[in-house]
Amino acid sequence: MAGAVGVAIAGCGVVGSGVAQMLTKNRGGISRAAGRDVALKYMVDLRKVEVPEGVALTSDFERVLEDGDVRVLVETIGGTGVAYDCTRRALEKGVSVITSNKALVAAHGDELKRLAAEHGAWYLYEAAVCGGVPVLRPLNTCLAGNRVSQLSGIVNGSTNYLLTRMELSGLGFPEALGEAKALGYLEADPADDVEGYDARRKLAILTNAVFGSRLKDDGLIPTEGIARLTERDLVCARALHGAVKLIAHAERAGEGWTGWVHPTLVMEGNMLASVRGVFNALTVTGDCVGDVTFHGRGAGKLPTASAVIGDVIEAVRSGCTAASIERFDSVPAFVSPDEKPVALAVRIEGALPEGLPPALRSVQVDGMTAVLLKPIARAEGMKRVAALREKGVRAGIPLIVLQ
């Protein structure tokens, strides 16, 4: 093997220290896979953190960039401030940047990918979606010959953990939230998880990979999290033979694409219904391959580090020089899903009220009526249930049904 390729890690929190641990422990195998010796040379942090033997801890980012041995920067700082600045400076020097920072990818990824291409470097972010489950590389390579029509997935592990605890242990939302917080599963701002913003960013990253849509269009995606669900919604879901999951969904719509993040009644028989705890899963439909489902740990120190290391290997194997490949001939626009007919499921406390859109079937359970509505334009269905709630009907928020 030729001389070692130097790696620097900026941001030595949970994921950064996991990457350091893995690079040190599995250096031989990682180097063989990359075709070059891969050496962790610097860890950059303002704090005094523990670093593996032989690795320099520094707060001087400039010194790191001036070291010509450093060809790969792992950015695990998080957020869109310092992380953005460090990423730009590295890419401008032709240093490839690997990140798990989904907020930065969604906010500035379009621009950072362009910058990377201009400087012959990589900007890779497999770890930003589904943690340790490889999804972006398979979509960008193995499945890239397919025309993908749609994808649906559980892409936020913390909310799946909350829903699993509520479903299997009957915990209320606040209790389950407290437990997840104590276990360190939540984002710094738990609203990112429970209001669905994290899932929305990941959906934008996925649709960029399969449709060529803009990363920064994440803000256009209608998003409802799980904060307004109760354990009684989950009881109704089970009575209808399904499970409640926070699903990120996207599909083609004419020349554009549409999608949403929404609590969903996933019917038994769909593999996503049985995904439990912090696990993630994603089903992608290609025109030739049909349905492909990915499943595994969506969060956590070493699963996320595993995805980062996969990108490091990819960058080093290519000689840290990225070929600028544009896979899509145009950028599809986001189309509102308001008019899209969807089946909805609703929990009604007590008997069925007047004014509910037509139902396909309903089931009585624990003093509630679990109702499956006939397909209706998404916005209209939501509006009519909201109007009933305003009139005092005790109805849950509608769940979108996924067969």
Q: Which residues bind ligand HSE (CB under 6 A)?
A: 131, 156-158, 187, 193, 198, 298-299
What residues have CB less than 8 Å from 256, skipping those under 6 apart?
332, 333, 334, 335
Residue 81 makes CB contacts below 8 A (sequence gap 6+) with none
**DSSP alpha helix (H) spans, 229-300:** 231-239
Distance, CA of 16 to CA of 18 (rounded, Å):
5
CA–CA separation, 127 and 81 (whole Å): 19
Q: Judged by CB, which is closer to ligand HSE: 156, or 283?
A: 156
83-101 burial string, b = 16+ CB within 10 Å, else e? bbebbebbbeeebbbbbbb
For ligand HSE, which is the closer residue by CB, 131 or 259? 131
| CB closer to ligand HSE, 215 vs 344 | 215
Among all residues, whose Cβ is closest to ligand HSE? 158
Structure token digits, residue 311: 């990108």
Closest Cα partner for 78 from 128, 7, 23?
Answer: 128
Minimum gap (Å) between residue 100 Cβ and ligand HSE: 7
Contact at 8 Å (CB) between 250 and 259?
yes
Write phi, then psi, for 366 (nearest 5 degrees): 45, 40
| Catalytic residue annotation | 202
Nearest CA to 378 out of 243, 206, 262, 268 is that of 262
Count Cα neighbours of 218 within 13 Å in the Cβ-side half-sphere: 24
The residue among 299 and 322 lying less far from ligand HSE, judged by its C-beta, is 299
Beta-sheet pairing, 359-365 with 148-154: unpaired
**The two three-digit tokens of residue 258, written as one number:** 């549409």
> What is the SS3 assignment for 364?
strand
Tokens (6 digits) for 172: 């209320």
